[in-house]
Chains A and B, each alone.
Chain A
Amino acid sequence: MSIPDYMQCAEDHQTVLVVVQPVGIVPEDEFFRIYKRITSVAQVSIRDSQRNLYIRYRHHYLPENNEWGDFQTHRKVVGLISVTTCGSAKEWPQTSDRFHCQKDVFGATLYDSRLLVFGLQGEIAEQQRTDVAFYPSYDDCPDVEKRVEDFVESIFIVLESKRLDRATDKSGDKIPLLCVPFEKKDFVGLDTDSRHYKKRCQGRMRKHVGDLCLQAGMLQDALVHYHMAVELLRSVNDFLWLGAALEGLCSASVIFHYPGGTAGKASGREPSLAHGQGQAADAGKRHRPGALTANGISADTSSEIGRAKNCLGPEDIIEKYKEAISYYGKYKNAGVIELEACVKAVRVLAIQKRAMEASEFLQNAVYINLGQLSEEEKIQRYSILSELYHLIGFHRKSAFFKRVAAMQCVAPTIPEPGWRACYKLLLETLSGYSLCLDPKDFSKGSHRGWAAVQVRLLHELVYASRRMGNPGLSVRHLSFLLQTMLDLLSDQEKKEVTQSLENYTSKCPGGMEVLTLPDGLKLPPVPLSKLPIVRSVKLLDLPVSLRPHKQKGLLENNMSSKSPFIYSPIIMHTRGEERTKKIEFRWVQGDVCEVQLMVYNPMPFELRVEHMGLLTSGVEFEALPAALSLPAESGLYPVTLVGVPRTAGNINISGYHTSVFGVTSDCLLDGLPSVRTSGCVVEVIPSLPRLQLSTSLPRPFSSRLSSSVSVQLFNGETQQLTITLENIGSEDLETLEVTSKTCNTKEKLFGEFLSWDLEEAVSQLPLKPGQSVTLTVNVKVRLDFSGGENLLQDLNDDGISVTGLPISSPLRQVLKPRAETKPLGSESSKTDYNHVKTLEAVMTFKYSGGAGKMEGYYRDLSLGVHVDVEPSVFFTRVSTLPATRTRQCHLLLDVFNSTEHELMVSANNNQDLVLHPSECQRMAIQVAKFDFHTLPQPDQEAVRYTNPKLLEEERLHAQASMISSTLGSLSVSLSLSLSLCSSSLDVVVNGKPCDCDIIADCKVGDAVPLEVKLTNRSKNAVGPFALTVVPFQDYQNGVQNYDLQDAVTFIGSNTFYIDMVKPTENSACMGALLFLYTGDFYLNIKFQDDSAGQGKELPPSWFGLPSVHIKALEAPIEAGA
Chain B
Amino acid sequence: MLTRLKTQVPLFSMNSYTKLREKLKLSGLSLASTHSHVIRLGRHSRHNSKMAVCIAVIAKENYPLFIRSVPVQNELKFHYTVHTSLDVVEEKISAVGKAMADQRELYLGLLYPTEDYKVYGYVTNSKVKFVIVVDSSNTSLRDNEIRSMFRKLHNSFTDVMCNPFYNPGDTIQSKAFDSIVSAMMVQAS
Contacts and interface: CB of A to CB of B under 8 A. Distances in A.
Interface stretch (B27-35, B39-47, B120-128, B155-163): B27-35
A367 B31 contact: no
Contacts of B15: 369
A1001 interface: no
B84 A404 contact: no
B179 to A, nearest CB: 23
Given A369-B14, A448-B63, A326 B30 contact: yes
Interface in A908-932: none
- Taking each of B1, B32, B34, B87, which has the highest tally of chain A beta carbons within 10 Å of its own beta carbon? B87
A765 to B, nearest CB: 67
B14 A367 contact: yes
Interface in A439-498: 448-453, 456, 459-460, 463, 496
- Taking each of B25, B84, B86, which has the highest tally of chain A beta carbons within 10 Å of its own beta carbon? B84
A408 B35 CA distance: 28
B83 A396 contact: yes
Interface stretch (A29-37, A88-96, A281-289, A357-365): A357-365
Contact of B5 (A356, A360, A396, A460): A460
B32 A359 contact: no
A393 B86 CA distance: 11
A1115 B20 CA distance: 173
A329 B1 contact: no
B63 A449 contact: yes
Given A363-B112, A397-B84, A404-B11, A452 B79 contact: yes
A500 B1 contact: yes
Nearest to B112: A363
Contacts of A389: 87
Contacts of A628: none
B18 to A, nearest CB: 5
Nearest to A500: B1
A395 interface: yes
B97 to A, nearest CB: 13
A322 interface: yes
B63 A450 contact: yes
B79 A394 contact: no
A845 B5 CA distance: 71
Nearest to A459: B1
A434 B61 CA distance: 11
Contacts of B34: 364
A286 B98 CA distance: 38
Interface in B58-82: 59, 61-64, 75-76, 79-80
B175 interface: no
A453 B76 contact: yes
Contacts of B79: 450, 452-453
Contacts of B61: 448
A325 interface: yes
Interface in B75-118: 75-76, 79-80, 83-84, 86-88, 91-92, 95, 112-113
A453 B80 contact: yes
Interface of chain A: mostly helix, strand, loop or mixed:
helix
B17 interface: yes
Nearest to A434: B62
Given A322-B32, A323-B30, A367-B17, A463 B91 contact: no
Interface residues of B, number: 40
A322 B91 contact: no
Contacts of A459: 1, 5
Contacts of B32: 322, 360
B112 A359 contact: yes
B76 A355 contact: no
Contacts of B62: 434
Contacts of A393: 87, 91
Interface residues of A, number: 40
Nearest to A403: B9
A661 interface: no
B164 interface: no
Given A322-B31, A326-B31, A453-B76, A448 B87 contact: no
A366 interface: yes
B76 A396 contact: no
A463 to B, nearest CB: 6
B86 A396 contact: yes
Contacts of A412: 6
A448 B61 CA distance: 9
Contacts of B10: 404
B188 interface: no
A607 interface: no
Given A367-B18, A459-B5, A356 B92 contact: yes
A330 interface: yes
B31 A329 contact: yes
A407 B88 contact: no
B87 A452 contact: no
A400 interface: yes
Interface in A1057-1085: none
B12 interface: yes
A234 to B, nearest CB: 15
B8 to A, nearest CB: 8
A250 to B, nearest CB: 15
A396 B30 CA distance: 28
Contacts of B92: 356
Contact of A359 (B6, B14, B75, B88): B88
A394 B91 contact: yes
B5 to A, nearest CB: 6
A450 B62 CA distance: 9
A393 B113 CA distance: 19
Nearest to B34: A364
Interface in A389-419: 389, 393-397, 400, 404, 407-408, 412
B84 A448 contact: no
A205 to B, nearest CB: 28
Contact of A329 (B25, B112, B113): B25
B71 to A, nearest CB: 15
A407 B31 contact: no
A365 B132 CA distance: 25
Contacts of A322: 30-32
Contacts of B87: 359, 389, 393-397
B21 A329 contact: yes
Contacts of B112: 359, 363
A339 to B, nearest CB: 13
Interface of A: 322-323, 325-326, 329-330, 355-356, 359-360, 363-364, 366-367, 369, 389, 393-397, 400, 404, 407-408, 412, 433-434, 448-453, 456, 459-460, 463, 496, 500
22 contacts: A322-B32, A329-B25, A329-B31, A359-B87, A367-B17, A367-B18, A369-B15, A369-B17, A369-B18, A396-B87, A400-B80, A400-B84, A404-B10, A407-B9, A408-B11, A412-B6, A450-B83, A451-B64, A452-B79, A453-B80, A459-B1, A500-B1
Interface of B: 1-2, 5-6, 8-12, 14-15, 17-18, 21, 25, 30-32, 34-35, 59, 61-64, 75-76, 79-80, 83-84, 86-88, 91-92, 95, 112-113, 169
Given A330-B25, A393-B87, A456-B76, 4 more contacts: A322-B30, A396-B84, A396-B87, A397-B84
